[in-house]
Chain A
Amino acid sequence: MSEYNFAYLDEGTKRMIRRAILKAVAVPGYQVPFASREMPMPYGWGTGGVQVTAACLTPEDVLKVIDQGADDTTNAVSIRRFFQRTAGVAVTEATTDASLIQTRHRIPEAPLTEGQILVYQVPIPEPLRFLEPRETETRKMHELEEYGLMHVKLYEDIARHGEIATSYAYPVKVEGRYVMDPSPIPRFDNPKLGANPALQLFGAGREQRIYALPPHCRVVSLDFDDHPFTASKAPHDCDLCGASDSYLDEVITDDAGGRMYVCSDTDYCRSRREAGHGGRLTGEAA
Chain B
Amino acid sequence: MSAPALKNPALKNPALKNSLQLDDAPLLSVRGLSRNYGARIGCADVSFQLYPGEVLGIVGESGSGKSTLLSCLAGLQRPDTGEVIFATANGPQDVLTLPEAARRRLMRTDWAFVHQNPRDGLRMGVSAGGNVGERLMAVGARHYGQIRAEAIDWLGRVEIGPDRIDDRPRQFSGGMQQRLQIARNLVTGPRLVFMDEPTGGLDVSVQARLLDLLRGLVRQMGLSAIIVTHDLAVVRLLADRLMVMKDGHVVEQGLTDQVLDDPQHAYTQLLVSSVLQV
Most B Cβ at <10 Å: residue of A145, A149, A159, A224: A159
The stretch of B10-18, B53-61, B134-142 in contact with A is: B134-142
Instruction: Check if A155 sits within 8 Å of B145, measured CB to CB.
Output: no
Instruction: Check if B166 sits within 8 Å of A160, measured CB to CB.
Output: yes
Give which listed residue, B123, B145, B165, contacts A152 with CB less than 8 A.
Answer: B123
**Minimum CB–CB distance for B107 against chain A, Å:** 10
Instruction: Check if B144 sits within 8 Å of A148, measured CB to CB.
Output: no
Interface membership of chain B positions 139-155, coded 1 if the CB is closer than 8 angstroms to chain A and 0 otherwise: 11011110110000000
Beyond A224-B144, A226-B144, A227-B144, whether A159 also contacts B135 by CB under 8 A is: no
How many Å lie between the Cα of A227 and that of B101 in the bound state? 29
Instruction: Check if A144 sits within 8 Å of B100, measured CB to CB.
Output: yes
Most B Cβ at <10 Å: residue of A140, A144, A155: A155
Give which listed residue, A144, A155, A223, contacts B129 with CB less than 8 A.
Answer: A155
CB of B130 within 8 Å of the partner chain: yes
CB of B221 within 8 Å of the partner chain: no
Query: Across the interface, which residues of B come within 8 angstroms of A226, CB to CB?
Result: 143-145
Query: Across the interface, which residues of A come within 8 angstroms of B166, CB to CB?
Result: 159-160
Instruction: Check if A225 sits within 8 Å of B130, measured CB to CB.
Output: no
Instruction: Check if A149 sits within 8 Å of B134, measured CB to CB.
Output: yes
CB of B8 within 8 Å of the partner chain: no
CB of B36 within 8 Å of the partner chain: no
Query: Across the interface, which residues of A come within 8 angstroms of B148, CB to CB?
Result: 159
Beyond A144-B100, A225-B143, whether A159 also contacts B138 by CB under 8 A is: no
How many Å lie between the Cα of A224 and that of B130 in the bound state? 14
B-facing residues in A154-175 (Cβ within 8 Å): 155-156, 158-160
CB of A37 within 8 Å of the partner chain: no
CB of B127 within 8 Å of the partner chain: yes
How many Å lie between the Cα of A156 and that of B126 in the bound state? 7
Q: What are 20 A-B residue pairs whose CB atoms fall within 8 Å in the complex?
A: A131-B123, A144-B101, A146-B138, A148-B135, A148-B137, A149-B134, A149-B137, A152-B134, A152-B137, A155-B129, A155-B133, A155-B144, A156-B130, A159-B165, A159-B166, A160-B166, A224-B142, A224-B144, A225-B144, A227-B144
Q: A144-B100, A148-B134, A152-B126 are in contact. List 5 more A-B contacts (CB 8 A).
A: A146-B104, A149-B138, A159-B165, A223-B142, A227-B144
**Chain B positions near chain A (C-beta within 8 angstroms):** 100-101, 104, 108, 123, 126-127, 129-130, 133-135, 137-140, 142-145, 147-148, 165-166
